[in-house]
Structure 1
Amino acid sequence: MIDFRYHIVSIVAIFFALGAGVVLGAGPLKGTASQVVADQAERDRQALEQARADAIQAKSLDKYRDDYVAKVTAGLTDAKLASRKIAIVTMPNADGDLTNSVQDSLENAGAQVTTRVALDSKLFDPGQRQLIEPLVNELVTSDITFPADSNTYQRAGQILARSVLTKELNKPADGESTKILSGLSDSKLVSVKPTPKDRADLVVVVAAKPPTPLPDNSSYTDSVDFIEGLDLGSAGSVVAGTPESAQNGGLLKALRGDSDATKIVSSVDVANMPSGQATIVFALVEQAGGKAGQYGGVDAKNGVAPSAVQAKEN
C-alpha cells in the first residue's frame, strides 16, 4: 500500500509538471517542470525510506514482544491443566495454524487434547434449520437434561457435548457417544479427528476471523447458543479468537453482547499471541473453578487475563 500510494503521488506530480511545461513553454519559468519532478521524486524517496524503516522497526518490536512474552511466561502455565482432558471445537473456517498453536499451549500446560471437532458451516445455515431440530430429538439420550427454556441450538450443543465432553473427570466414551458422533457426522454437520476414547471435561472453541463483507453480529446468535450448550455439558468452556473476532462482524463480539452467555462462557481475543495462549490456559483453570471472564485487548470486560493471584492460587 505504501509503495503504491507514493507511486500515484509521483505520477500526479509529473502530470502537473508536464501541464505547467506545456503552458509556460520556453518562457520565464523554463526548467521549473523538471525541477518540480526532481523535488517530488526526492520527497517520495525519503518518505518511502522512512515508511520502510518504520515497518521494519514495528515488525522487530512485534517479534521482540512475542519472544519476550513467550520466554517470561514459560513455566507459568506448567501443570496448570495437569490431569485435565480437553476437546477442541473449531468453528467453520477457523484457522488451522491458530488451532495448532492453541493445542500446543494446552498440551504444554499438561492437558491431554482428546479430539478436535470441526463444525461445518451447514450446521449454522438457516436453510438447514429444519434438519437440526429433528436430529437433536433423534440423538438425545436419557442422561441429557435440557433446561426448560433452552432452544434448538443450545440443545444441539448439549448433544455434541454428550458425545465428547462430560462434567466429570476421566469418563470414557461409550455407546451413546458413538451414536451421537455417527449421527452428526453422517449428516455432514461435524467431522471428528481422532475419535475420542475418553470424554474431555473442558472445551476450547476456536473462532474464525470475520468474513468479508462483515456479517451482522446477530448472525452469530445460533453459534453463541450452541457454545452455551457445550458449556452446559462440560466443566467449562473458553472461546478463543483473534482481535478481529472481537470486533463488529466477529463471533466474540456477538458472544460478549449476550449477557447470559458471558455468565458461563469465557473468551480470549488474542489467541494468536503467546500471552493470549497463556491466558486461555488461565481462563480454563478459572472455568474449572466455576468462574467465567472475558479477556484480551478488544473491549474485554475483565481485562487482559485472570489476575496473577487468581492464576497462582488455582
Structure 2
Amino acid sequence: MIDFRYHIVSIVAIFFALGAGVVLGAGPLKGTGSDLVQAQANKDRATVEDQREQLLQTKALDKYRDDYIAKVTSNLTTGKLIGKRIVVVTMPNADSDMTDAIQAAIEKAGGQVTTKVSLDSKLFDPGQRQLVEPLVNDLVTSDLQFPTESNTYQRAGMILARGVAAKEEAKTVDTEAVKIINGLSSAKLVSLKPTPKDRGSLIVVVAAKPPTPAPDNSSYNEAVDFAEGLDTASAGVVVAGMPESAQNGGFLKALRSNADATKALSTVDVANLPSGQMTVVFALAEQAGGKAGQYGGIDAKNGVAPSADQVKGN
C-alpha cells in the first residue's frame, strides 16, 4: 500500500511539473512551478518513508511480542488439557492458519484433537432449512432428548455433538455416531478429517472473519443456536475468532449479544495471536470445570483470560 502511494505521488508530481513548465516556462515565474512541485514531491516522499519505517517498527514489535509469549509464557498451559479429547469445528471460511495454531496449542497443553469438522455454508443457508429440519429428525438417537423449547438449529448442533462428542471422556464412536456422521456428510452439510475413533468431550468452534460488506448481526442467529446445541450435548464449547469477529457483522459479536448463549459458551476474540491461542486452552479448561467466560480485547466482559484460580486443578 505504501509503495503504491509512493508511485502515485511521483506520477502526479511529474504531470504537475510538465503542466507547470508549459504554463510558466516562458514567463516571469519560470522555474517556480516546477520547484514547488518538486518540493512537494520530496515532502511526500519523506512522509512515505517515515510511514514505511513506522510500519517496520510495528511489525518488529509485534513479532517480539508473539515470540516472547511463545518462548516465555507458553509453558503456562502445559498439562492443562491432559486426558481431554477435543473436537475442532470450523465455521464456513474459517482461517486455516488460525485453526492449525489453535490445534497446536491444544496439543501442547496435552489435549488430543480427535477430528476437525468443517461446516458447509449450506448448513446455515435459509433456503436449506427444509433439508436440515427433516434430517435432524431422522438422525436423532434414543439417548438424545431435545429440550422442549429447542429450535431446529439447536437440535442440529446437538445431533452433530452426539456424533463426535459426549459429556464424558472415553466415549467411542458407536453405531449411532456413525449414522449421524454419515448422514450429515452425505447431505454435504459437514466434512470430517480424520474420521474419529473416539468422541471428544470439549469442542472448539473456529469463527470466520466477517465478509465485506459486514452482514447484520442477526444473520448469525442460526449459527449461535447451533453452537448452543453443541454445548448442550457436550462437556463444553469455546468459540474462537479474530478481533474482527467480535465487532459488528461478526459471529462472536452476535453470540455475545445473546444472554443465554454467554451463560454456557466461552468466547475468545484474539485467537489469531499466540496469547489468544493460550487463552483458548485456558477457556477449555474452564469449560471442563463447568464455567464460562468471554475473553479477549474487543468488548470482552471477563477480561483477557480466565484467572489462574478459575482453571486451577483442571
TM-score by length of 2: 0.96
Show the counterpart of 2:151.
151
1:13-28 equivalences in 2 (<5 Å): 13-28=13-28
Name 2:254's counterpart in structure 1. 254
- Note if 1:225 corresponds to 2:222: no
* Distance in 1 of aligned mates of 2:254 and 2:147: 22
Kept after mapping to 1: 8 A contact 2:6/2:48 = yes
For residues 3 and 173 of structure 1, what CA distance do their matches in structure 2 show?
54
**Equivalent position SS for 1:115:** strand
% identical equivalent positions: 71
2:89 is paired with a residue whose SS is strand
Q: Is the 8 A contact 2:9 2:41 kept in 1?
A: no
Give the superposition deviation at 1:20: 4.3
Partner of 1:170: 170
Q: What CA distance in whole angstroms lies between the structure 2 residues aligned with 1:184 and 1:17?
A: 66
One-letter amino acid of the structure 1 residue matched with residue 168 of structure 2: E
The one-letter amino acid paired with 2:2 is: I
Cα shift at 1:38:
2.2
User: Alpha-carbon deviation of 1:309?
Assistant: 3.2
**Distance in structure 2 (CA, Å) of the matches to 1:311 and 1:181:** 32
* Equivalent in the alignment of 2:134: 134
User: Which letter does structure 1 place at the counterpart of 2:58?
Assistant: A
Extract unaligned runs of 5+ from structure 1: none
For residues 179-202 of structure 1, the C-alpha deviation after alignment (integer angstroms, 9 at most, x for no partner) is 111111111111111111111110
Aligned: 1:199 with 2:199: yes
Q: Residue 306 of structure 1 aligns with which residue?
A: 306
Post-superposition offset of 1:79: 0.7
Note the 1:22-171 alignment, pairs <5 A. Answer: 22-171=22-171
Uncovered stretches (5+) of structure 2, i.e. residues with no partner = none
Q: Deviations over 1:23-51 (max 9, x none)?
A: 44433221102211321222122112211
Q: CA-to-partner distance for each residue in 1:67-111, whole Å, 9 max, x for gaps? A: 011112121101100001101111111121111111110011001
Give the structure 2 partner of residue 273 of structure 1.
273
| Pairwise CA RMSD | 1.5
What TM-score comes out, normalization by structure 1 length? 0.96
1:105-155 Cα distance to aligned partner (Å, 9 max, x none)? 001100111111111111111110001111111000111111111000000
In 2, are the aligned partners of 1:13 and 1:36 still within 8 Å (CA)?
no
1:230-253 deviation line (CA, Å, top 9, x unaligned):
000011100011111111111111
How many Å separate the matches in 2 of 1:144 and 1:288? 21
Tell me if 1:8 matches 2:11: no
Is the Cα–Cα contact under 8 Å of residues 10 and 41 in structure 2 kept in the other structure? yes
Counterpart of 1:195, as a letter, is T
